[in-house]
Amino acid sequence: MKKIEAIIKPFKLDEVKDALNEIGIQGMTVTEVKGFGRQKGHVELYRGAEYDIAFIPKVKLDVVVPDSLVAKTVAAIEAKAKTGKIGDGKIFILPVEEVLRIRTGETGEAAI
């Protein structure tokens, strides 16, 4: 099993969620986060004054999938989150040793 963490632009969330549902991903965790990468933030103009916005609002998706679905999941996220502009985000893939569903006690792939 793998945990896939994706940092994407907030307005792409619904497209990514729908794409993941289409390939059979039934659950995910979504967190509103802030950060910056190469763009180092940006400057906004508000009432004639410039403000340096160092941390850009993003959305973080956490999904745990069986090894057989990793490639499809990553491809779906990449295809739907991509705008071709700076700040599209990142995808991280981490190993998951074990999963336990609290309600039923199921473990492993049956728990996801």
* Domain residue limits, the chain: 2-111
What DSSP character marks residue 33? E
pTM above 0.75, yes or no: yes
Phi/psi at 28 (5° precision): -160, 160
Residue 63: C-alpha distances to residues 1, 7, 35 (Å): 10, 12, 20
Is residue 92 pLDDT above 80, yes or no? yes
Q: Which fold has domain 2-111?
A: Alpha-Beta Plaits (3.30.70)
- The predicted-structure confidence for 41-81, as pLDDT tens digits, reads as follows 666 666 777 667 778 889 999 999 999 999 999 999 999 99
Check residue 47 and give its pLDDT.
74
Which pLDDT belongs to residue 53? 73
Coil, strand, or helix at residue 16?
Answer: helix
- 108: its two tokens: 């492993």
Please say if the pLDDT value at position 35 is more than 80: yes
For 1, 26, 47, 87, the CA distances from 4, given in Å and listed in that order, are 10, 14, 41, 18
